[in-house]
Amino acid sequence: KNLQKFSEKIILMINPKRQGKVNAYKKALERAKGEYLIFLDDDIEVVNDNFVEKIVENLKKYDFVDVRKEIIRDSLLSRLVYYDYMAMNLANYLFYRWIGRCVGVNGAAFAIRRKALEKIGGFQYTVSEDLDLGIRAYLHGLSFVFLKDLAVLNKAPKSLRDWFKQRKRWAIGAGIWIKKYFRSLVSILKRNLKACLFILFTVFPNLLIFIISLFLEESIVNKLFILLLFYLSSLLPMLIPVFTLVSYSLAFLPIKTIIVASLGFIFYSIIYYWAAKKLGHKFNILEFAAFYFVYSPIWLLILLMGIFRVTVLKKTTVEDWVV
């Protein structure tokens, strides 16, 4: 309904066969005539009545505009993915507030000036074209704004199988992104060390706990076994949940680590509660506990596995995906 007034100007393009998201972007850009470009995935729902007007208003001042993405909470899985997207929103909000630029963007909904897009070389043929676009926007000095009061609704994957398939793709895409821009990412980290570390450990709360647990773990055998499980998980992705539970239980055997994990849960509960209030999200302590202790560790392991597959095993293929 929010976009009905633009219906007469809509051009529907249907490819005879699947050609990939980047090809769809490029074909759309050939037909689009405006200076301001808004990109929306087919599974999002625009919430605000003045969505387009607000985007245009901000594109007059900024090169690159990101908006809040909120997961529709209609299943147990979606309630966990909800906090994942909250963390992504918080990351780009903090990048906007602290640095004024973005390193990556969730491509479900964003806007950019045409001249800015042309300046950074348009869309590149890669698995995570949104991450690739975001870091090139940073490297070219594009001004950036995150609009926390402008939102779109996203659908979570329908099943654990679909979620796992999506996250494997995201993980491999992240691995390609890190490998391609490694030196640039290190440079960005050095220049904005405190901000980047806070954002990284907020988006992946179990990363900090995992690192601390490895240092607290006194048994060399357990450390090596955890690393072996990680290596095996990169070779056998379907067994990641099993490997996660085993490695998680090993890491959290020491009483010191249990205390650290509990303190970490309290700390991150405060951070995510603050983020929910700041960005207009919901927060439920029981849902967050499931996210923190179950969902987040599995997603972290999938991500690390994807990075390992790309950087060490040199495997970059993604099943059932056209770049």
List CB contacts of 75: < 8 A, sequence separation 6 or more. Answer: 156
What is the set of domains in the chain, with CATH numbers?
4-157 (3.90.550.10)
Task: State how far the Cα of 6 lies from the Cα of 226, in Å rounded to an integer.
Answer: 55
For 164-197, the three-class secondary structure string (H helix, E strand, C coil) is HHHHHHHHHHHHHHHHHCHHHHHHHHHHCHHHHH
Q: Cβ distance 272 to 83 under 8 Å?
A: yes
Question: What percent of the chain shows pLDDT beyond 90?
Answer: 61
Q: How many helices (H) and strands (E) does the chain have?
A: 14, 5
pLDDT in tens, 274-318: 999 999 999 999 999 999 988 998 898 889 888 988 998 888 888
**In terms of Cα–Cα distance, which of 300, 270, 38 is closest to 170?**
300
Mean pLDDT taken over the chain = 88
| DSSP bridge partners of 38 | 111
3-state DSSP assignment of residue 299: helix
Task: State how far the Cα of 31 lies from the Cα of 53, in Å rounded to an integer.
Answer: 21
Q: Where are the beta strands (DSSP E) in 18-136?
A: 36-40, 44-46, 64-71, 109-113
3-state DSSP assignment of residue 68: strand
* 17-21, Cβ contacts within 8 angstroms, sequence gap of 24 or more: 18/322, 19/322, 20/125, 20/322, 20/323, 21/107, 21/129, 21/322
pLDDT in tens, 93-133: 999 999 999 999 999 999 999 999 999 999 999 999 999 99
pLDDT in tens, 1-45: 556 666 777 777 887 888 788 998 999 899 888 899 999 998 899
pLDDT in tens, 260-274: 778 889 999 999 999
List CB contacts of 247: < 8 A, sequence separation 6 or more. Answer: 225, 226, 229, 230, 301
Q: Give the CA-trace dihedral at 33, 38, 41, 42, to 10 degrees.
A: -60
Stated pTM of the model: 0.88
pLDDT in tens, 179-238: 999 999 999 999 999 999 999 999 999 888 777 766 665 566 666 666 666 666 666 666
